[in-house]
A and B are shown apart, each in its own frame.
Chain A
Amino acid sequence: MITWLNTRSPRPWWALALLASLIAAWIPLAPILAPLVRIDRLAQMLDSRTAMLLWRSIWMSSGAGLVAIFLGWPYAIMACRLRFPGAGLFKLLMPLPLLLPPLMVAQAWFGLTGMTGAWASIFTFGVCYAPLPALLASRSLAYQSAAAHESALLIGPGFAIGEMLRISFLPAMIGACFAFLFAASDFAVPDYFATVGDLFHVYAAEIFGNSRNYDYAAGATSSLPLVLLGFLVLLGTANLQRRQMNFETSHGRSATGLNLRTGQFFSSGLCLALIVVLLLAPLGRIIYETGMQGPLSERSWSEVSSAAFHDAVTRGRDDVLRTLSYSGLAGLMCLVLAPLWAHMLLKSRSIRRFALMIGVTLPLLVPSVALGFGSILMFNQPWLENFYNSIWLPALLVAGRFLPIAVWIMVERMGRIPEAQEDAAALAGCGYLTRLFRYRLGPVRSAWWLAAGLVVAFGVRELDFAILLPAANQSAAVRYYNALHFSRDNFVAAYGLVLAILLFLPVMLFAWWRNLRPSQA
């Protein structure tokens, strides 16, 4: 049995990965992509009103990308490559804002500033997705050659910082492109700001609006312009990535931190200011809101807050457990699928590689709401009733939607392992799974866990398709969304914090575990 599983050819395993993607990701996409074969329907889709909404989504998402790069890029350079008190802690905190549900950040900043409308959405998305440019920039900085950095340092500290900016600019731009994609397909944050302030619509909200009259087909097909927009952004991102590959020169020794002497206090202060905006201020506000009360209330802040937490834990426990169940299942699926997909991509060339990359990325380009519509249309069949109502459906959808993130991480890390290691194992007669999991994946095992962990985290904070699918209705994100719209502020804040702790915990544990281990490729 084991011999059969460990066949020398990768093809059966790659076929399995393709089959899994077909069920988890591509089948629900079919109704969304259907108008592509009917050009006349495509033209009808963009009347003047929807074109205006699409344009609004584009500039709102562009603004979010700009805010994300403006906040995330300098933070990454300071936290990762300058030496100052607390730099390690700032680096550790860098990914955390990405794990906060955007709706919670919106609620916090509305509470702090009272801002509403499109600018509030831009700012919220920028804050939520600033870790994307930061993480990608920090990765490229980690691979800067020590000799290149030291050559620059011999010229001057300003020049060395300039070189850091140049080397990390394209990755930061790629992060901003992803921020654009996520912001463009999110309906919940603009919807929230439209509810608490002046009414305004974006394209993703227009797609979601189809759920009110149960017109799932229209909902699925109307998302196509956003998918095409996402596709264009992805092409741009791939071009940036290709250009960045030419800039990576590290051979072994990586550059160390730069000590700016008196400038270190400025860096420390700036980093603190940025993390306050990205993480501490929203969290602080949410903590405050757990015990917030009316002027006539006679209870203390701590009494109200404890009651809110008690309420959140007792009433929301089942939803949290259900969410963790399907997100955990999705993480497990990606634990198997991501290395297979990554290896398939690394072994493919030119057009085949490009086609596979598009195929695996497509579910992330589609607005999550549309993926929900597509799933309803394809899986809500009498003969699939049990599957449709089980947690397997949201688990599959979470895995399919966020698999691209896991695959990109694995491609990036596994691509740095010399192919000769795997070739030597093949010459020694090792089977495919041994070659893949022991020799190609072994040295980057921490990245493997990180990839699956991210899928779980994104699954927990996923709201848009969870609202639509009956099997995911009883989830943490949906309970949060409903409570927020019914203005149950104390409960919402406490529940949001419980979710944030649940999301932060694995990341912090992972960071702690990685710090215990010697550095990896």
Chain B
Amino acid sequence: MSSPLLNVQSLQKSFGAQKILVDLNLQLEAGQRISIQGPSGCGKSTLLRILAGLESPDDGTISLSGKAANHKQYILLQPWQRSTQMVFQDLGLWPTRSVLQHVIDVRKASNLTDPKGEGEKILNQLGLGHLLKRRPGKLSGGEARRLAFARVMALEPKLILLDEAFSSLDPDNREQGFEMLEQVLASTGAAVILVTHDPAEAERLGGTAYRMMEGQLSCV
């Protein structure tokens, strides 16, 4: 039997006296979709950052495709070794790089084939083909979000983490965002974890919906 894409066991994290994650368990298969809802400050984003390797837990284990990524507080797989990509709430675009450079850079850094050709293809697919030389500071909100997804798509990750990626969008733009996500998922076949405080977003994503309460996940 093959290993799950993501296997989280007894994950714990505290900030000072405040316990954020308490014995948290989670399993995710390739291509699966899950959403995690919960109020602000309950630890949703911290969980994503730990899964991405950007933060270390206090205890517990994480494995990715059978490989140990964390053991207790030690990071065994670095963020760039996890085949994971994240879309942040404020997108995290690189201000000095043009639209095209965003996708070329990530494909080159990950040794993927034909960075320029594939990059242009992805950008055309997401409707950014006419903005190749523009920098993020000159993009509209919607265009910047598309670029963030194009960057994810260019990397062909196995796991996509969305940290409130559609919050602060009006309903029309949110729907466009989900359509874009569908394109990315169809192209990469990646699994996705969406963190949100909005039940409507969780419903729109589909898959399994969890709620985070007192540091643990429970099915909605």
Q: Which residues of A contact B (CB under 8 A)?
A: 145-159, 163, 166-167, 169, 246-249, 251
- B54 and A246 within 8 A (CB): no
Per a CB cutoff under 8 Å, which of B54, B80, B95, B138 touches A156? Answer: B80
A157 → B minimal CB distance (Å): 7
Does B79 count as interface, using CB distance less than 8 angstroms?
yes
Q: Which residues of B contact A (CB under 8 A)?
A: 49, 52, 54, 78-80, 82, 84-86, 88-97, 105-106, 109-110, 135-138, 151, 155
* Given A156-B80, A158-B109, residue A246 in contact with residue B92 (CB < 8 A): no
B173 → A minimal CB distance (Å): 19
- Chain B hits for A167, CB < 8 A: 95-96
Subset of 20 A-B contacts with CB under 8 Å: A146-B92, A147-B92, A148-B93, A150-B54, A150-B86, A150-B88, A151-B94, A153-B54, A153-B79, A154-B54, A154-B84, A155-B110, A156-B110, A159-B106, A166-B94, A167-B96, A246-B135, A247-B137, A249-B93, A249-B136
- A151 and B88 within 8 A (CB): yes
- Chain A hits for B151, CB < 8 A: 151
- A154 and B94 within 8 A (CB): no
Per a CB cutoff under 8 Å, which of B89, B92, B105 touches A159? Answer: B105
Q: Complex formed: what's the CA distance from A148 to B90 in Å?
A: 9
* Given A147-B88, A150-B86, A246-B135, residue A155 in contact with residue B93 (CB < 8 A): no
Q: Complex formed: what's the CA distance from A145 to B86 in Å?
A: 15
Q: Complex formed: what's the CA distance from A158 to B106 in Å?
A: 12
- Chain A hits for B80, CB < 8 A: 153-157, 159
- B52 and A154 within 8 A (CB): yes
- A154 and B93 within 8 A (CB): no
Between B52, B96, B151, the greatest number of chain A beta carbons within 10 A of the residue's beta carbon is seen for: B96
A153 → B minimal CB distance (Å): 5
- A249 and B86 within 8 A (CB): no
Q: Complex formed: what's the CA distance from A158 to B111 in Å?
A: 13
Excluding A151-B151, A247-B95, 16 further A-B contacts by CB distance (< 8 Å) are A148-B92, A149-B92, A150-B49, A150-B52, A150-B54, A150-B92, A151-B93, A151-B94, A155-B80, A159-B80, A159-B109, A246-B95, A247-B96, A247-B135, A247-B137, A249-B136
- Chain B hits for A148, CB < 8 A: 92-95
- Chain A hits for B93, CB < 8 A: 148, 151, 249
- A151 and B92 within 8 A (CB): yes
- Chain A hits for B137, CB < 8 A: 246-247, 249
Per a CB cutoff under 8 Å, which of B54, B90, B106 touches A145? Answer: B90
Q: Complex formed: what's the CA distance from A392 to B49 in Å?
A: 58
B87 → A minimal CB distance (Å): 9
- B105 and A151 within 8 A (CB): no
B132 → A minimal CB distance (Å): 17
- Chain A hits for B84, CB < 8 A: 154
Q: Complex formed: what's the CA distance from A157 to B53 in Å?
A: 13
- A251 and B90 within 8 A (CB): yes
